[in-house]
Amino acid sequence: MITVAQVVEYLQTPHQVVACGKDEVQKNGLLTLSMLSVVTGCLLGFLLRALELTELEKQYFSFPGELLMRLLKMLILPLITSSLMSGLATMDSNACGKMGLITLTYYLWTTFMAVTVGIILVTSIHPGAAAQKEEYAVAKAALSSADALLDLIRNMFPSNLIEASFQQYRTVLVPVVKTSGFPNSPGKSISFVYFVPDGENPEINRPVLLEITPSPEMTYQTLPGTSNEMNVLGIVIFSATIGLLLGKMGERGIPLVNVCQCLNEAVMRIVSMAVWYFPFGIVFLIAGKILEMEDPSVIGKKLGLYAITVVSGLVIHGLVLLPLLFIIVTRKNPFVFIRGILQALLIALATSSSSATLPITLKCLLENNGIDRRVARFVLPVGATINMDGTALYEAVAAIFIAQVNDYDLDLGQIITISITATAASIGAAGIPQSGLITMVIVLTSVGLPTDEITLIIAVDWALDRFRTVTNVLGDALAAGIIAHICKQDFAPEKVCITLGEKGTGAIVDAPKDINYTYTSISESESSLHPFCTHKDWF
């Protein structure tokens, strides 16, 4: 039997230090390439704006970035299902319940913190005073808050799991024309006679009959419909339920748990290979979005102060409050932890989708920050679905901004209503680009603000959406670190298979709770065993 002391001594041998050093060079090189790709994409986008490319040329130019988004979205479904099922199935039911309660409480608390920061900033800076309202706006019918919340609950229980992988339920408004007419002559048109000067002889007036048909009265009927977006919330709830039940089934559930673990391992290996394409795709993804945006100078005049307010709130919440909470709970340096997930944050900035960033976030937490895989597999998929700190802050700021533009004074009760509805609406926001505009309707209707005024902020939303996605991903990752620290005493130590010496010899030992080891097939002279990385389950 190999002891932990022998493992530590083995890890200190020179060839192991060299192996770890090579991994560090690869990780830092990939991170550097990703950072350069963001800068290159911004510069290339602004330089190409001078060429005034056609829509077709922009579409061709953005194709490599589109491939990046499609690749990431392809991995969302297998990663969420395999992570939740295998992660919850291998945990003790009491520990799982405790972790779930702490996770949900933490997510709700940090979301409410973000909303509070946004309300304080927007009421202090008052960006609506400097904004220019559009002279012409087309009013559109919007769902009520009740219908939007009911849609959220319906999506928690999808009627068809296959359909949930590419569609979600959404109530649609269908216009219905009422029979129009005036009381005196119902259903008949009204005629007017005008005298218009003749074109050849202005002294002669010719009669012109003008028949006026009254405009029809429109009402809207709610009907069930769908939208072409993955129902992540329903898939998360189903996968979590199956995972909990598999854990209670004992030996009968082991085959399916092994399948989920193998699927999760395969997805992570795909991510490890595809990650080298990301710097190339990021360049075209960001440059393509810059080519599509409106004139920056015009946007800056209308919405510059509003954008500064939102970004300031995101910076305060993401770089001050969340790290401070991390320090209080774990007594560790949060910025060392954040450095380990920089790759995921850059992907979030480029893709503007927390769900698409999920594979990279999971990879960074396991390999760079040494988070227990059982914690990461639960906290991250749930967080990518319901933890939307940046979206909640953005919605609160946008709602009060629209009220300021329309000279609508909000009292304390209405501000509290905005804070509560923004917290609730962010939970229902899908982890896809610009999903906050959809749930914004709930916040606006809760205090009687006009929903058609959302058009005021659309011009700058594409950029702010990227910054709030970075905040969402950062919040998920820090939550995994905090919950792993709180629950580390509740999990049994992982079993690790270590092969030392000749090929085929080995033993099972108990790994320390604060260290995760990795095991791969190795030759007689080489080994890939080093701390703070995990690739395979040994329970």
Residue 497: predicted pLDDT: 46
Q: Which of the two residues, 262 and 189, has the higher pLDDT score? A: 262
Q: How far apart are CA 479 and CA 322, in angstroms?
A: 9
Amino acid at 485: H
Q: How far apart are CA 294 and CA 221, in angstroms?
A: 35
Q: Enter the pTM of the model.
A: 0.72
516 pLDDT more than 90? no
Residue 443: predicted pLDDT: 80
Rounded to 10 degrees, the C-alpha dihedral 120/405/393/343 comes to: -120
Amino acid at 471: T
- Reduced to 3 states (helix: H, G, I; strand: E, B; else coil), residue 510 is strand
Tell me the Ramachandran region of residue 410: left when phi exceeds 0, alpha when psi lies from -120 to 50, beta otherwise: beta
CATH class of 25-132+140-147+230-487: mainly alpha
**Alpha helices per DSSP H over 317-431:** 322-330, 334-339, 342-351, 358-367, 373-386, 389-405, 412-427
Q: How far apart are CA 330 and CA 209, in angstroms?
A: 82
17 pLDDT more than 60? no
Residue 444: predicted pLDDT: 80
Residue 13: predicted pLDDT: 45
Tens digit of each residue's pLDDT (9 = 90 or more) over 281-315:
889 988 888 888 777 777 777 788 888 999 999 99
Q: Which of the two residues, 86 and 325, has the higher pLDDT score? A: 325
Comparing CA positions, the residue from 280, 287, 363, 351 lying closest to residue 34 is: 280
Q: How confident is the model at residue 332 (pLDDT cuts 50, 70, 90)?
A: very high
Residue 336: predicted pLDDT: 93
5 pLDDT more than 90? no
Residue 120: predicted pLDDT: 93
Q: Secondary structure of 117-145 in the HEC alphabet?
A: HHHHHHHHHCHHHCCCCCCCCCCCCCCCH
- Reduced to 3 states (helix: H, G, I; strand: E, B; else coil), residue 44 is helix
393 pLDDT more than 80? yes
Residue 482: predicted pLDDT: 94
Provide CB contacts within 8 A for 518, sequence distance 6+.
528, 529, 530, 533, 534, 535, 536
Tens digit of each residue's pLDDT (9 = 90 or more) over 190-238:
555 566 676 666 666 666 666 655 666 667 788 888 888 788 888 888 9
Residue 121: predicted pLDDT: 93
Q: Give the Cβ contact number of residue 495 at 10 Å.
A: 12
Domain boundaries, the chain: 25-132+140-147+230-487
Percent of the chain residues topping a pLDDT of 70: 73
Residue 508: predicted pLDDT: 41
Tens digit of each residue's pLDDT (9 = 90 or more) over 121-158:
999 988 877 665 554 444 455 566 677 778 878 888 99
DSSP character for 341?
T
504 pLDDT more than 50? no
DSSP character for 465?
H
Residue 477: predicted pLDDT: 94
Q: How far apart are CA 397 and CA 461, in angstroms?
A: 12
Residue 31: predicted pLDDT: 77
Q: What is the arithmetic mean of pLDDT over 333-350?
A: 91
Q: How far apart are CA 5 and CA 474, in angstroms?
A: 36
Whether 533 contacts 367, CB under 8 Å? yes
- Reduced to 3 states (helix: H, G, I; strand: E, B; else coil), residue 349 is helix
* 116 φ, ψ (degrees, to nearest 5): -65, -45
Tens digit of each residue's pLDDT (9 = 90 or more) over 398-450:
889 988 888 888 888 888 888 888 887 777 565 555 555 666 777 887 777 77
Tens digit of each residue's pLDDT (9 = 90 or more) over 64-120:
988 988 888 888 888 888 888 888 887 777 778 888 889 989 998 999 899 999 999
Amino acid at 446: S
494 pLDDT more than 60? no
Q: What is the arithmetic mean of pLDDT over 473-478?
A: 94
20 pLDDT more than 50? no
DSSP secondary structure letters along 75-106: HHHHHHHHHHHHHHHTS-HHHHHHHHHHHHHH
Comparing CA positions, the residue from 435, 417, 383, 365 lying closest to residue 115 is: 417
Q: Secondary structure of 43-84 in the HEC alphabet?
A: HHHHHHHHHCCCHHHHHHHCHHHHHHHHHHHHHHHHHHHHHH
State which H helix or E strand residue 161 sits in. helix 161-164
Whether 176 contacts 158, CB under 8 Å? no
Q: How confident is the model at residue 23 (pLDDT cuts 50, 70, 90)?
A: low
